[in-house]
């Protein structure tokens, strides 16, 4: 990354022949890095959190509790989907919510006796929905700014669209089919 930056700075120096103009562009570059690294940091921290949960045995304990309550694979999938969707809404990022759970999902699926894809696919579906209804999601903020409405208004439109698509296109039925199959 820094090699590419150095090469770019050399070309910009040849192009503009002004160090102050190049430094202004470099400032924009570093501000962009700050925005991106905050999401990367969230993903890394979430990965450590997932590793910690596995290390202390919390995943095994939750699966044992679910088994003793008679909850099967469908119940665990729905519970994890609700949990991960609410995390996506709270943090505004689908990736930061999905990656740690995707790391744990194959272990949970193996203990439940189901293919990992049957657990990961619904999780992937709900984090996308959760991110798109999060008021702090970058896409919601950008789209609401372009449309010149508040993020709350944009979310209301998204929720109405999701409600219609659940009825018309059968996304809810698709979610249920993924969970059941």
Reported confidence tier of residue 160, pLDDT bands at 50, 70, 90: low
Q: How many domains, in total, are found in the chain?
A: 1
The predicted pLDDT at position 178 comes to 47
Determine the structural domain holding residue 95 and report its residue range: 2-180
Hey, how many other C-beta atoms are within 10 angstroms of the C-beta on 56? 10
pLDDT > 70? residue 180: no
In tens, the pLDDT along 41-95 reads 766 776 777 777 778 877 777 777 776 777 778 888 888 888 888 888 887 778 8
> How high does pLDDT run on average in the chain?
77
Hey, how many other C-beta atoms are within 10 angstroms of the C-beta on 177? 11
In our burial notation (b when 16+ CB lie closer than 10 A, e otherwise), range 104-120 reads bbebbbebbebeeebbb
The predicted pLDDT at position 38 comes to 66
This prediction has a pTM of 0.60
């Amino acid at each position: 990354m820094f090699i590419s930056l150095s090469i770019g700075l050399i070309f910009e120096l040849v192009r503009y022949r002004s160090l102050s103009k190049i430094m202004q562009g470099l400032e924009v570059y570093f501000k962009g890095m700050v925005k991106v690294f905050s999401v990367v940091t969230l993903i890394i921290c979430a990965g450590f959190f997932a590793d910690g949960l596995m290390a202390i045995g919390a995943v095994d304990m939750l699966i044992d509790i679910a088994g003793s309550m008679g909850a099967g694979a469908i119940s665990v999938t729905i519970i994890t989907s609700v949990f991960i969707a609410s995390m996506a809404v709270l943090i505004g990022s689908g990736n930061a919510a999905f990656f740690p759970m995707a790391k744990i999902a194959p272990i949970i699926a193996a203990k439940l006796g189901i293919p990992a894809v049957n657990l990961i696919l619904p999780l992937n579906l709900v984090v996308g929905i959760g991110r798109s209804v999060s008021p702090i999601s970058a896409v919601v903020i950008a789209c609401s700014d372009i449309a010149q409405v508040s993020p709350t208004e944009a979310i209301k439109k998204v929720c109405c669209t999701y409600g219609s698509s659940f009825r018309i296109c059968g996304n809810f039925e698709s979610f249920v089919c993924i969970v059941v199959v």
